[in-house]
Amino acid sequence: MSDDEDLPPPTGFAALDLPEPLLKALSDVGYETPSPIQSQTIPHLLAGRDLLGQAQTGTGKTAAFALPILARLDRTRPTLQALVLTPTRELAIQVAEALHRYAAHMPGFRVLPIYGGQSYGPQLQALGRGVHVVVGTPGRIIDHLGRGSLDLTQLRQVVLDEADEMLRMGFIDDVEHILRATPAARQTALFSATLPPPIRRIAQTYLRDPVEVTIAGKSRTADNIRQRYWVVSGMHKLDALTRILEAETFDAMIVFARTKVATDDLAERLQARGFAAAAINGDIPQAQRERTIAMLRDGAIDILVATDVAARGLDVDRISHVMNYDVPTDPESYVHRIGRTGRAGRSGEAVLFIAPRERGLLRMIERATRQPITPMELPTIKMVNDVRLARFKQQIRDSIAAGGLEPFQNAIEELEKEDNIPALEIAAALAKMVRKGEPFMLAAERREPEERHTHEERPPARGPDPGMAAYRVEVGHLHGLRPGNLVGAIANEARLTSKQIGRIDIQKDHAFVELPAELPDELLQHLKNVWVAGGQLRITRDGEPPDDEGKRPPKRNLLRGRLFGKPRRN
């Protein structure tokens, strides 16, 4: 029996026939066992087969195509041999970083990420020096092809990563343009979370007898991600988010908002409430977005408020929570969003804020992911206050342990003797100064004002209190309006305290509410578009003609004998 026959068969990545430099790099980063997508695709790609891979985000597909690219690379040729197309700049950067990391023991390897938002100068210089692999977004790749600065004639491998997202973002025509410019003898691998007909057509047109690999589990979302939802009613979403941030333990969080404007606004509001938050969206320059993501990775910020596209491909180990502040438009977006947490076997948390009228979308998400999303209870005021008190005490303990208190002790002793003020009161005053007017504890929830079941077309006979005025809103009893809904929406959208909101008189199809008399016109214009109880407020000052433009009457539900407001389709 030979010595070779005495050796046990290779296991882990060694069983995949990868070169020793790659196995050493994988050991350096702590990878021991290939994931299903890696074990099922790497052998076919090493053998030169075209491949159609269907797998969800977070399954390890980057290594599934990156390792075969490096294994088959000829570093002695300073020509472009592999091209990876990605839908976003963030994903292009991360794939390039992964390739560089896996090639740590392959001297002379060169990879270049190419994407919009970065100046052409560094890209042109790198291409002029020669690179082995380019990872890029379709638009910028086409720009370089038009300039003649990118030569695809020696290309041996092409990878389409997250093809369904490129379809959703409108890049498929660009992708086909690029594929037509590549050599016919290339190897092509297409990876996609879903395979809609246009992606199937791409595969049939540009892949040669591909091997199909589908990684399907019991659920399309990771089992190690706890998924919960909260029905938005009464309390405003920002207040609910604040309670979760204060009472739940989290390392880092991504908060998804629907629009670019919403990300900026929400990040500013969270910063005003004392949270280390920042926004990323398509309007923010790429260099700033990269700095922001680096700050999240390094712990300089804890909360990233992002749009779906801006967070695509984002992989930061610290992310323990994903908050769907605005409900995603489809189940696929939800799957991609919550895939930002629970990566590489770590546990994660996903929370979905959903309005009553969006319950159908909740059920659709559950069907698509084949996993239940459980209701959650918001932290109570007592829970939040207990956390605040514990944090305050710990901050004092940490400050005492850090030392350097002598100058302050001397000043307090002098004040105590000069004004005969107990040290306890001085300490409390200092704590209040640090809060800068912000309340230390959450106040008890404001009781809902008593509803007046009247159908008068005017405010109550008693006039508003001094400094207050009556305002009319175009939602009422027939829409299911409750005083708490109105108070929560106005308080948060107008940034008013509960003391600045007076009596509420709910009528049949409208209501009156007392607010500060001198509300700015731009704030009123903002409040007009706020949705409450299935209708827009369309607020006006008392005495002005009601704003009925676009107002929809409640629709009677004959099966349940109730009246509901029908929201406008966005």
Q: Is the pTM of this model over 0.75?
A: no
How large a percentage of the chain has pLDDT more than 70? Answer: 84
Q: Are residues 317 and 356 in the same domain?
A: yes
CATH code for the domain of 246: 3.40.50.300
Any idea which of 204-208, 236-240, 280-284, 489-493 has the lowest mean pLDDT?
489-493
Is pLDDT at 412 greater than 60 in this prediction? yes
Any idea which of 87-91, 237-241, 558-562 has the lowest mean pLDDT?
558-562
Supply the Cα-derived Rg of the chain in whole angstroms. 29
Q: Which pLDDT value is given to residue 241?
A: 92
Q: Which pLDDT value is given to residue 88?
A: 82
More confident residue, 323 or 3: 323
Last residue of a domain, one of 379, 394, 420: 379
Residue 450 lies in a domain: no
Residue pair 237/324 in contact by the 8 Å Cβ criterion: no
What is the pLDDT confidence band of residue 150, given thresholds at 50, 70 and 90?
very high
Q: Are residues 269 and 350 in the same domain?
A: yes
Q: Which pLDDT value is given to residue 447?
A: 40
Residue 48 lies in a domain: yes
What is the pLDDT confidence band of residue 143, given thresholds at 50, 70 and 90?
very high
Is pLDDT at 381 greater than 80 in this prediction? no
Residue 451 lies in a domain: no
Q: Which pLDDT value is given to residue 234?
A: 55
* Cα distance between the two ends of the chain: 74
Any idea which of 204-218, 448-462, 512-526, 547-561 has the lowest mean pLDDT?
448-462
Is pLDDT at 319 greater than 60 in this prediction? yes
Q: Provide the residue type at 14 as one letter.
A: A
Any idea which of 85-99, 162-176, 462-476 has the lowest mean pLDDT?
462-476
User: In 205-327, which ranges are E strands?
Assistant: 211-214, 225-231, 252-256, 277-280, 303-306, 319-324
Q: Are residues 398 and 375 in the same domain?
A: no
Residue 440 lies in a domain: no
Last residue of a domain, one of 417, 435, 453: 435
Residue 219 lies in a domain: no
Q: Which pLDDT value is given to residue 392?
A: 78
* Residue range 401-410, pLDDT digits in tens: 888 888 888 8
What is the pLDDT confidence band of residue 222, given thresholds at 50, 70 and 90?
low
Q: Which pLDDT value is given to residue 42?
A: 95
Is pLDDT at 476 greater than 80 in this prediction? yes
Buried b vs exposed e over 440-452: b needs ≥16 C-beta within 10 Å? Answer: eebeeeeeebeee
Any idea which of 85-89, 103-107, 292-296, 344-348 has the lowest mean pLDDT?
344-348
Q: Are residues 98 and 181 in the same domain?
A: yes
Q: Are residues 129 and 275 in the same domain?
A: no
Q: Are residues 417 and 535 in the same domain?
A: no
Q: Are residues 392 and 354 in the same domain?
A: no
Residue 191 lies in a domain: yes
- The dihedral region occupied by 431, where left means phi > 0, alpha psi between -120 and 50, and beta the remainder, is alpha
The domain of 68 spans 3-214
Q: Are residues 60 and 46 in the same domain?
A: yes
Residue 121 lies in a domain: yes
Residue pair 403/370 in contact by the 8 Å Cβ criterion: no
Q: Are residues 357 and 480 in the same domain?
A: no
- On average, the pLDDT of the chain sits at 81
Distance CA 522, CA 502 (A): 21
More confident residue, 180 or 369: 180
Q: Are residues 110 and 30 in the same domain?
A: yes
Distance CA 538, CA 551 (A): 8
The answer for residues whose C-beta is within 8 angstroms of residue 404's C-beta and 6 or more apart is none
Last residue of a domain, one of 351, 379, 407: 379
Distance CA 541, CA 473 (A): 9
* Residue range 327-375, pLDDT digits in tens: 886 676 788 888 888 765 577 899 999 887 777 778 778 876 778 889 9
What is the pLDDT confidence band of residue 304, given thresholds at 50, 70 and 90?
very high
Is pLDDT at 460 greater than 60 in this prediction? no
Looking at the 3D structure of the chain, how many domains does it have? 4
Is pLDDT at 463 greater than 90 in this prediction? no
Length of the chain equals 570
Q: Are residues 55 and 199 in the same domain?
A: yes
**Burial environment of residue 157 by CB neighbours within 10 A (0 to 12, 13 to 18, 19 or more):** buried
How large a percentage of the chain has pLDDT more than 90? Answer: 31
* Residue range 427-439, pLDDT digits in tens: 888 878 876 666 7
More confident residue, 385 or 318: 318
More confident residue, 198 or 462: 198
Residue 446 lies in a domain: no
What is the pLDDT confidence band of residue 167, given thresholds at 50, 70 and 90?
confident
Exposure on the CB side of residue 370, measured as CA atoms within 13 A: 8
Q: Which pLDDT value is given to residue 453?
A: 35
Q: Are residues 368 and 396 in the same domain?
A: no
